[in-house]
Chain A
Amino acid sequence: MSLFFGQLRGELRKLFARKRTYIGYGVFLVVEVIILVVFHLEKSQKAMRELMGQNGLAFENYYSSLTVTYMVMGFSMFLLGSIYFALVAGDIVAKESEDGNLRLVLSRPVSRLRVLLLKYAAILIYTTTFVLFVGGTGYLMSVGAVGGGGGLFIWNYKMKVFAFYPEWGDGALRLLLAAVLIGVSMCTLSTLGFMFSCFKIKPASASILTLSVLFVDFVLQEFPFFKPYEEYFITFRMSNWVYALENHLSWAKLAESYAFLGGLNVTLFVVGWMAFQMRDFKT
């Protein structure tokens, strides 16, 4: 087991030694700042003030660092997260295959399954820590913008979630749980990119295929004919993290959603592994 962790450390070193990785972090920080500025504009606040007022909630208490963090995380992940994780995951096997690094790796006494498990573990760690980074920096920036304290207000029309937490402590705990679940949801996106990356394919093609699948999945579930089957759509299940913010927390509902995503991840991994196992590696 210690050998596995030693090898995993090497895999993470490769991932985090690339400049591109840090460009991603930088880009997210910039996007967070932009979202914060937009939310600070009077017209943006007006809509929220009305929504809270209609529900008898005090804007001064609920327009807080927690509420702004929730919005920053949701928007930045929706806007950029999918693209960014598809790029990184699409690269992780295909790029090494294209560059020829894998020939050196596979000339050593290590099974292909182990090589894939290491890369997959690295990409999962990367995905979840990245989401937590976005959440953490989003919160710190929000504190800087609107100050600490206050409650948490949630309104998600698509997922039909309306919730509020007057106390900072309750809201912060739920937001933390939601952030962890966003990370887990994003792992499905990364797994999809990883699977395509295992095929004999260009890294960019793996990323494009990943984004295409998600885009089609997202659009199709909006069609009225498919509405009754929305729980079978990947992007719908990936959005289920928002259930962690409901006032009445349903663990069963969350468990069902994440069991679905977990099963999907295992299936995608096995498909990728089979494709990788059958490949010939030659100049």
Chain B
Amino acid sequence: MPARSEEVMLEVRGLRKSFGGKPALQGVSFSVREGEIFGLLGHNGAGKSTALGVILGMVEPDGGEALIGGVSVRRKRKVALRKAGAIFESPAFYEYLSGWENLRILVGYSGKFEEGKAREVVESVGLTARIGSKVGAYSHGMRQRLALAQALLPEPKVLLLDEPTDGLDPEGIKWFRDFILRLRAERGMTVLFNSHLLPEVELMCDRVAIIRQGRMVYDGDLGGIADERLLLRVGAEPREKARELLRGMGGEEIEGGRVQFPAGTDPARVARFLVEAGLELRELTPVKRSLEDLYLAMTKEGGAE
């Protein structure tokens, strides 16, 4: 696996965009280093696709800019996009043409279509047997493989994936994930993965950013999600008294009977405290803080800005 460099391959700076007076992006900034897989998370309508549209030069921002490989998309779109390939949630191909003809036409917009190279890519995405069939007869999974093939031609350094695994079956999702991870491992591909499938993001991404109502509410390593705070699932009777005592220890109850304590809290001390107070302790289990916890905390109304 190539060592990840510090070179920034994709950067967005202070993106702002409104549609009909309604803000879609409000000063969104993030950067993705070479060889990194970066997850962009948010609810439907949060602004993820708008951000991707700006990166691809399909949406004109009201302010800010996007750079691919240090080249401004706004000023030199053609040069910038030579380094990028993109896949969308439901890639719309020409249904009445074969997969091969679709590839030839789409790749032809980037320059000369090299048959040998195209055959290699088609082989790598496992579509050789059906590449001559009309796309109208393709399953969703086959369309995504074709989308991947067209995105990989000619040879991008950055892949922009807009909810690519939506609608795929579990096998298809796994294949897609393994393929992207292999691309990163073998070619040092930089990937922007736009999704709301949190388990996928957790399995693939090195870093994530969370967008809520057009604003960035988190940008950091996935490792950082497992923060220093202690998260325990606590079951004790009587419940009301337990709540009161836990609050006294600095515990903050979050959903599902889980209580979050300040960093450095010792679980044994919590257990002893509850037992010594005469409570019947039924459960005290440390819980791993997941991406979902972070996501829900960040995206709920009034969550962290």
Contacts and interface: CB of A to CB of B under 8 A. Distances in A.
A104 B93 contact: yes
B92 A109 contact: no
B106 A108 contact: yes
A26 interface: no
A36 to B, nearest CB: 33
B97 interface: yes
Interface stretch (A6-14, A41-49, A170-178): A6-14
Given A7-B109, A281-B53, 10 more contacts: A6-B108, A14-B97, A100-B92, A103-B58, A104-B150, A107-B88, A109-B78, A110-B110, A282-B58, A282-B59
A158 interface: no
A6 B112 contact: yes
Interface string A1-39: 001001100110110011100000000000000000000
Given A111-B77, A283-B89, A105 B109 contact: yes
A101 interface: yes
Contacts of A105: 106, 109
Contacts of A19: 96
Contacts of B50: 282
B60 interface: yes
Contacts of A280: 19, 53, 58-60
Nearest to B91: A104
Given A103-B92, A280-B58, A108 B53 contact: no
Nearest to B83: A109
Interface in B138-178: 147, 150, 160
Nearest to A280: B59
Contacts of B60: 278, 280
Contacts of A283: 49, 88-89
Interface string B11-37: 000000001000000000000000000
A17 B88 contact: no
Given A3-B111, A107-B86, A13 B79 contact: no
Contact of A100 (B79, B84, B90): B90
Interface centre among A6, A99, A282 (most CB of B within 10 A): A282
Nearest to B86: A107
A283 B194 CA distance: 14
A35 to B, nearest CB: 31
Interface residues of B, number: 41
Interface centre among B19, B50, B106 (most CB of A within 10 A): B106
B49 A101 contact: no
Contacts of B84: 107
A3 B58 CA distance: 23
A101 B97 CA distance: 13
Given A104-B92, A108-B110, A109-B110, A14 B105 contact: yes
B246 interface: no
Contacts of A3: 108, 111-112
Contacts of B81: 107-109
A161 interface: no
Nearest to A14: B94
B218 interface: no
A136 B89 CA distance: 47
Contacts of A11: 105
A19 B53 CA distance: 33
B78 A111 contact: yes
B112 A101 contact: no
Given A7-B109, A10-B105, A107-B81, A101 B56 contact: no
Nearest to B151: A107
Contacts of A101: 92-94
Interface centre among A13, A14, A107, A282 (most CB of B within 10 A): A107
Contacts of B93: 101, 104
B57 interface: yes
B130 interface: no
A259 interface: no
A106 interface: yes
